């Protein structure tokens, strides 16, 4: 079987989603997980690199920014993804309009990280949401993502999902704040995937 595909989506694909993609891939590589992240934008600045501020904010968190070229989101990308993580609720709605069946496995990053946190810390669900001895890591992740999708809206995950702020055009401090926010949510997801 091939790697699982995670797709991060934002607007221009030069700030939030490439940071999330690269942070995710660097952590997945460290944990040797069978998962690959990609990213795209709903109004991508096609071909543009990640902003210098995004690179600086990533480096500030001890990640190594890699080469990036902004890409437009396509229905094919959505169809080929196992999980789609959008930066805002509006992005999630746009994804559902672009490919209605993708709404099943599309979440905001905040929504999915809260769901994962709830399912891994709640005794009623944590057993189901843990890797079984006979499962490969990939089988576990495919099963657990399916279960998370089924449990969406059925379990209390706190407040309404919060959007990840768009730092484009803002100062470096805003970028650092956004990178830290993305990093903490991706780490929550990664801890569960590697656990």
Proportion of the chain above pLDDT 90, given as a percent:
83
Distance from chain centroid for Cα 9: 8
Dist CA 121 CA 123 (whole Å): 6
pLDDT bucket at 139, cuts 50 / 70 / 90: very high
Dist CA 41 CA 19 (whole Å): 13
Is this structure's pTM higher than 0.85? Answer: yes
What angle, rounded to 10 degrees, do the helices at 137-151 and 109-121 form? 100
How many domains is the chain built from? 1
Give buried/exposed letters for 67-80 (b at 16+ CB in 10 A, else e).
ebebbebeeebbee
Other CB atoms within 10 Å distance of the CB of residue 34: 17
Nearest to 51 by CA among 34, 64, 39, 68: 68
Query: Residue 53 contacts by C-beta under 8 Å, 6 or more apart in sequence?
Result: 15, 167, 170, 171, 172, 175
Helices (H), the chain: 16-30, 52-60, 75-79, 89-98, 109-121, 123-126, 137-151, 172-194
Q: Which domain does 54 fall in, by range?
A: 4-194
Nearest to 182 by CA among 92, 29, 61, 95: 61
CATH of the domain at 74: 3.40.50.2300
- 168-181 per-position pLDDT tens digit: 999 999 999 999 99
- 11-22 per-position pLDDT tens digit: 999 999 999 999
- 24-35 per-position pLDDT tens digit: 999 999 999 999
pLDDT over 60 at 165, yes or no: yes
- 45-58 per-position pLDDT tens digit: 999 999 999 999 99
């Amino acid at each position: 079987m091939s790697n699982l595909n995670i797709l991060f989506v934002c607007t221009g694909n030069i700030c939030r989603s490439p940071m999330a993609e690269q942070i995710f891939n660097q952590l997945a590589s460290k944990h040797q997980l069978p998962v690959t992240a990609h990213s795209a934008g709903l109004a991508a600045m096609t071909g543009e690199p990640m902003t210098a501020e995004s690179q600086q904010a990533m480096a500030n968190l001890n990640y190594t920014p890699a080469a990036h070229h902004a890409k437009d989101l396509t229905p094919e990308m959505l169809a080929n993804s196992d999980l789609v993580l959008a930066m805002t609720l509006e992005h999630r709605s746009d994804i559902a309009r672009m490919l209605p069946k993708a709404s099943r496995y599309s979440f905001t990053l905040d929504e999915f990280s809260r769901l994962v946190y709830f399912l891994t810390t709640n005794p009623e669900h944590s057993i189901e949401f843990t890797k079984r001895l006979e499962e490969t890591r990939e089988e576990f992740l495919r099963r657990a993502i399916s279960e998370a999708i089924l449990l969406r809206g059925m379990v209390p995950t706190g407040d309404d999902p919060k959007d990840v702020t768009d730092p484009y055009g803002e100062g470096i401090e805003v970028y650092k704040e956004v990178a830290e926010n993305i990093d903490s949510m991706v780490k929550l997801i990664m801890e569960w995937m590697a656990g």
